[in-house]
Structure 1
Amino acid sequence: MPLKPITLYSHAGPNGWKVAFILEELGLPYTTKFIPFSVVRKEPYISINPNGRVPAIEDPNTNTTLWESGAILEYLVETYDRQEGNKERKISFAPGTPEYFEAKQWLHFQTSGQGPYFGQAVWFTVYHPEKLPSARERYIKEVRRVSGVLDGVLASRQYLVGGRFSYVDAAFITWFSVIPQFLSDAIDVERDFPNVSVWLGRLQSRPAIAKVVKERADVVASQFS
């Protein structure tokens, strides 16, 4: 029986597109509903995600509703990235293997480190009603720290886990896009973190990733032009 489309709730911000990458990489049918920033904390959306953020998904194939991007990525690969009789998954790793847990390590680093710190750097650069140079400086330093961790690791490998592309590589892509968009006066990824820059280029050459990157660019252009 063919799968029913998963509903992805998203907007122009980075987190929803992490989920779209994985849906595309796994070839899953889905539809995207864009939720304006002005209504994410109102009904009917907060009945889906009481935290009033995106992304969230509704999967009619399993009657599952989930929010928090990291949890959604884990759900998608553990539910749909399966090959019977083969421990080699397409974009994830077999449960119980060292790579399985290492992937979770990087996903936790992305959701607890990259996303919040990059987001706060943008907030104090663009959206905070007062100019607070010390706050901006703190979060710019954290963006550099997180990027430096990745750059050091990627000096000796092409992908984060297992020598091949996986879902945790994809999880980092969209937050790096805020640097040229909002933080270019302070950080140049190609110059400052060359291994990260090469890695991002490698990831974005994948057809599924390139498709979603283009779609997001179109949405961002339409909302912020």
Structure 2
Amino acid sequence: MEEKLLLPIKVYNAPHGQGPNPWKVIIVLAELGLPYEIAWIPYGEMKSEPYTLLNPNGRVPAMVDPNRGGAGGVTLWESGAIINYLIATYDREGRLRYGDDRLEEKWLLQSWLMFQMSGQGPMFGQKVWFTHLHIEPNLRTAIDRYGNEAKRIMGVVEATLRKQRQKLQAEQQAEETPVWLVGDKCTYADLAFVPWNTLLDTVFPRSDAGMTLDLAREFPEYNRWHRNMAARPAVRGVLAHREECIRTMTNTSFQVVERQADAAKLPEYEPSVGVGGN
């Protein structure tokens, strides 16, 4: 089937769109030049049917691809699984992956994707929860634990990017040449980190003197890596759309916070890191 004949792939997201995980999928779709549409489902409707028929976990994203499978298309949930599907199904030219001619690199991308799913997302998310949403304010043991874990995750990425930089220096490449997690190009594994990275000023708010982050000083390669990805045309377009959604849509996560006994209030919006000059 030719790409020009493809129907839009539907990605379920929750307004106002600050939640990072759906945007991981949308970035990959945009980078591959695939048609897509966002289906907005309020947070208050995610834990019941009909949405749980698509995603039994009751979270976003879910994806429906009408171009494959039977009459109902292919339905998937969990951002990592969706990304793997999109890459396997549509990245025929190897834009965001490596092939069997670079077998180790092909599979090493999976290690990094799983690391993003099991490390960056959960640790950043827990840091946001205990910093901003937890009913007991200033719970330092939890804030410090997840803050230190978030920085440890970033340190793993930083160390890898530094090794990649050293390889380029040995090859006498220019200092401004981008470095990537695996091999010599930006892949889906790199891009999976972008949406959570944009929230770093929320993860580490400047108002919390006990757990600060100076990204450019503490993790300089990580900072350059993120900003290089955020400057890619497809990524820049997606992140600009996300900013517009945040600016114009009602934040339905208030519905969830109001009914959770362990939640206090949502964090103040912080401009996305690496977007629009930030």
Q: Does 1:59 align with 2:65?
A: yes
Q: Does 1:168 align with 2:189?
A: yes
Q: CA deviation at 1:182?
A: 4.1
- Computing the radius of gyration over CA atoms, which structure comes out larger, 1 or 2? 2
Alignment match of 1:28 (pick from 20, 28, 34) = 34
Alignment match of 1:75 (pick from 36, 60, 85) = 85
CA distance in 2, matches of 1:166, 1:136: 32
The aligned amino acid for 2:237 is K
The corresponding residue for 2:111 is 105
The corresponding residue for 1:49 is 55
8 A contact 1:5–1:60 mirrored in 2: yes
Superposed CA RMSD: 1.4
What is the aligned-residue identity percentage? 43
**The residue matched to 1:97 in structure 2 has which SS?**
helix
CA distance in 2, matches of 1:133, 1:76: 40
CA distance in 1, matches of 2:203, 2:247: 14
Alignment match of 1:192 (pick from 203, 218, 225) = 218
Trace 1:1-225 onto structure 2 (pairs within 5 A): 2-11=5-14, 12=17, 13-62=19-68, 63-83=73-93, 89-95=94-100, 97-131=103-137, 132-157=139-164, 158-185=179-206, 186-222=212-248, 223=250
CA distance in 1, matches of 2:110, 2:247: 33
8 A contact 1:8–1:55 mirrored in 2: yes
Q: CA deviation at 1:188?
A: 2.3
Q: CA deviation at 1:130?
A: 1.2
For residues 46-104 of structure 1, the C-alpha deviation after alignment (integer angstroms, 9 at most, x for no partner) is 11101001011000111210000000100000000013xxxxx1111215711111000
Q: CA deviation at 1:221?
A: 2.7
8 A contact 2:128–2:202 mirrored in 1: no
CA distance in 1, matches of 2:61, 2:239: 16
Q: CA deviation at 1:155?
A: 1.2
CA distance in 2, matches of 1:64, 1:135: 39
8 A contact 2:124–2:203 mirrored in 1: no
The aligned amino acid for 1:130 is E
The corresponding residue for 1:86 is none
Q: How many residues align?
A: 220
**The residue matched to 1:59 in structure 2 has which SS?**
strand
Gap runs ≥5 in structure 1: 84-88
For residues 141-188 of structure 1, the C-alpha deviation after alignment (integer angstroms, 9 at most, x for no partner) is 011000111111111320011110111111001111221134133212
**The residue matched to 1:61 in structure 2 has which SS?**
strand
CA distance in 1, matches of 2:40, 2:183: 34
8 A contact 1:180–1:188 mirrored in 2: no
CA distance in 1, matches of 2:150, 2:125: 9
CA distance in 1, matches of 2:6, 2:66: 9
Question: Which consecutive segments of 4 or more residues in structure 1 shift more than 2 A?
Answer: 220-225
8 A contact 1:122–1:178 mirrored in 2: no
Compare the two structures and name the one with the higher helix fraction: 1
Q: CA deviation at 1:190?
A: 1.7
Q: What is the TM-score normalised by the length of structure 1?
A: 0.93
8 A contact 2:113–2:189 mirrored in 1: yes
